[in-house]
Chains A and B, each alone.
Chain A
Amino acid sequence: MIPDEGNEELRIGVYVCHCGSNIAGVIDPTVVAEYATTLPGVVRAINTPYACADSGQNLIKEDIEKYDLNRVVVSACSVRMHEPTFRAAVSEAGLNPFLMEMANIREQCTWAHGHEPEAALEKAKDLTAAAIAKAAFLTPLDMITVPVTKRAMVIGGGVSGISAALDLGDQGIETILVEKEPTIGGVMAQLNKTFPTMDCSI
């Protein structure tokens, strides 16, 4: 089942977040956790008030050791929000960060179905089960490191582009400031005195 590690037994830990009342105000996370307990490969499933808080992260980290977890599923918010957080957490506990999978039961569940709590609960269960299904087949991966060219480009020479370029320059970074007009300055250069200080704009 887990190709890179031989046929090691699957040991998934599932963490269902309340996010205060953001999730728990609509559905009961304990029900989702209990449901997850009955699914194959899951050796531990529990609800947590704030998965991303220190307490939540510590719970996951301690469980990885205590239950010898080799996969973690976090049913909480969007991957765009906290995937980096939970990857870092599992990796601190010695698990490869790519063995963590999230189910989005906040943005894409309780926040979108606030008036249909029962249907939202069923959806949360399905999303958690799907994350478990994916987690079962996750493989450990290493980040790819790439070199960095220590030079920057700023596109647009208005007041914001000029400040960005000057700050980068002051940090010692060679910066190209690209402006399509014959002069830099943008709209600000066209203004009379500027609020709130009423000083000259150029």
Chain B
Amino acid sequence: MVDAARHPKVDVRTYTEVERVEGFVGNFQVQLREKSRRVLADRCNGCGECAQVCPIEVPNCFEMYLAPRKAIYVPMSQSVPLIYTVDETACIHCYKCVEACGKLDAIDFDLQDRVTWEDVGAIITATGFSHFDPSVIPEYGYGRFPNIITAMEMERLNNSAGPTAGDLIRPSDGKHPKSLAIINCVGSRDTRFNPWCSNFCCMYAIKNALLVQQHYPDTEITIYYMDIRTPSKGYEEFYARARELGIRFTQGRPSLITEDPETHNLFVHSEDRDLGQVTEREYDMVMLNQAAVAQPDVDTVSSLLNITQSPGGWFMEYHPKLRPMDSPTDGVFLAGACQGQKDIPSSVAQGSAAAARAGRVLHSDEWEIEPVVAVVWEDRCIGAQGKKCGICSRACPYGAIEYEPGKPAQVITAKCHGCGGCVAECPHNAITQMHFTDAQILAQIRALLARNPEEKILAFRCHWCSYGGADMAGTSHFEYSPNERGLRVMCSARMDSDFIYEAFRLGAGAVLFSGCHSQDCHYITGQPVGERRAERLLGQFEKAGMTPGRFRIEWISAAEGDRYAEVINEMQAVLDSIPREQLLEEIERLRPEMEKRARRMREAPQVDEALEFADRLAEAMLVVEPS
């Protein structure tokens, strides 16, 4: 910790939050808010005279609320930096601290938050994890029975720097416990709460058992476990040592903890697999190893940095095997427990690895980004005719399009991230997106629907989320209807109404419009642009009398492979429920309307050629159709 504070190249900004992130790889601008401590960092020497005189005491969250702190405080004596902070929610403004600080004059109640913008080329997210609250498990009685503590409380109680100076005492009477039960998997591997294994609880259960035993050799310690998981180097040996030293391991998940109201001793009811029977044992104290869970503010950080979440709120890596340190956003990397529950050795390793990944960018003078940007066909833009428009410019999440009547719209290429929203929004087919042109996509649609279109589910997926979700379905072998035919664009904002009309005109059985959940959108507000359009289409199709479910809108993240498979299967079920004759009749009935609505798609450059080619392709595809 102190190394970081001392490092000449590292600028530690504590009590600081990230408020906005703009820009792109190599060129991020980040807005930071350094909250006012009401104490001047360059004057405070950490002597603590102020806290001595402060009359207000509140529970210290650093001590898991087991000890008080003052309204002017440091979380712990080894805080880095060692600067005091006024807790405004507790302070009564008696200003005794100001007096005690005296000549140093470090306390300034007028000190305001400081907002700065920082330019950086790469960002590493290392926001860590949080702890499951075991009071929601009714059968364990945490919060009701004083002698049940959490693992984090144990870490503080049995700690020489902690509130009791390392004395392990029972909260009910201050006595040393003679027996201790440690319960694993509290809220982990429990489908009511969190399905995952929290990774490090088995090891810290053993650690705490050994530490308590070392300190109080006569304590009887039992660890209740479902499985002991010790797969890293030296961990199994650590476990073996604990067994040799007389820690008792009972295989079984306790079903109930009760209390003797007189003694406040606890009775742990549990199966004991070795004995093959249900046991009820009495303990002076119980420690619950609560699950590791995602940070409560994970959604905020996700949307600031466009990082998708895996189930449970862990940040999702670009690829679980090949790029575990990269987030889906170029230039943003992941380290530590925010990406998934992990212990210190793994967190440190990932921190160093993320630094190396970021170093690839930061040691380069230039970085290459994909040229999938928007381009205006100037002769088609009505701006050139002096007309009012600028729809594209309003759709752009990055302010990358300048529009003024009299001139064609101008895309500022360096600002364009390539969502394609402007392309789909332009009513005059005056913009295209490189590598995802109308011509290319319309040709793909024809090919995918060349054979038995009424049996097909044409699925439009955005690159970052739903395409990844479809990959995840495959990787996890979640099977879904093979009648699905996927088509990838960068963002749901690119999913042009014309594509959907054209798909139904060609007789598609069903069409899926699918992208990121709005907080995961890779293009800030691309998804809402897509969503508005999709909702409008849904309304039109309903009015036209399309069978509900043939057009479906779903937001599916790259982690939700099961969801992708489920949605496709549900769409297949809709198709199965419509008698074939009726479906063909409906397709014919709606064709003229689709034709009419899609009529302008041919205006875009190259589309005629593309359709002509696609027709030849479709013909050839049908020739070799197996009988």
Contact = CB atoms under 8 A, between A and B. Distances in A.
Interface of A: 1, 3, 35, 38-41, 78-81, 98, 104, 106-109, 111-116, 119-120, 122-123, 125-127, 129-134, 136-139, 141-196, 198, 202
A152 B348 CA distance: 18
B487 to A, nearest CB: 7
Contact of A148 (B155, B301, B361, B439): B361
Given A137-B440, A168-B359, A3 B606 contact: yes
Contact of A112 (B480, B487, B617): B480
Contacts of B83: 182
Contacts of B275: none
Given A111-B475, A181-B14, 20 more contacts: A38-B623, A109-B474, A111-B477, A112-B479, A112-B480, A120-B482, A126-B447, A133-B444, A134-B444, A144-B370, A148-B362, A149-B121, A154-B123, A155-B125, A159-B351, A172-B9, A177-B10, A182-B74, A183-B76, A195-B204
A175 B482 CA distance: 49
Interface string B354-375: 1110110111111111110100
Interface stretch (B21-29, B257-265, B496-504): B21-29
Closest 8 CB pairs of A and B: A160-B336, A163-B351, A161-B126, A107-B474, A167-B355, A119-B482, A111-B474, A169-B9
Nearest to A10: B613
A101 to B, nearest CB: 9
A195 B362 contact: no
B337 A148 contact: no
Contacts of A196: 203, 232, 234-235, 238, 345
Interface in B109-128: 118-128
B473 to A, nearest CB: 6
Contacts of B162: 192
B207 A198 contact: yes
Nearest to A34: B624
B446 interface: yes
B556 interface: no
B356 A167 contact: yes
Contact of B620 (A38, A164, A178): A38
B524 interface: no
8 contacts: A98-B371, A107-B470, A109-B474, A146-B366, A160-B128, A161-B127, A163-B352, A171-B355
Interface of B: 1, 3-5, 7-18, 24-28, 30, 32, 37, 62, 64, 74-76, 78-81, 83, 85, 118-129, 152, 154-156, 158-159, 162, 203-204, 206-208, 210-211, 232, 234-235, 238, 301, 318-319, 322, 335-338, 343-345, 347-348, 350-352, 354-356, 358-359, 361-371, 373, 413-414, 434-435, 437, 439-441, 443-444, 446-448, 450-451, 463, 467-468, 470-471, 473-475, 477-480, 482-488, 565, 606, 609-610, 613-614, 616-617, 620-621, 623-624
A45 B357 CA distance: 38
Given A114-B479, A133-B614, A161-B351, A152 B120 contact: yes
Contacts of A157: 4, 12, 14, 126
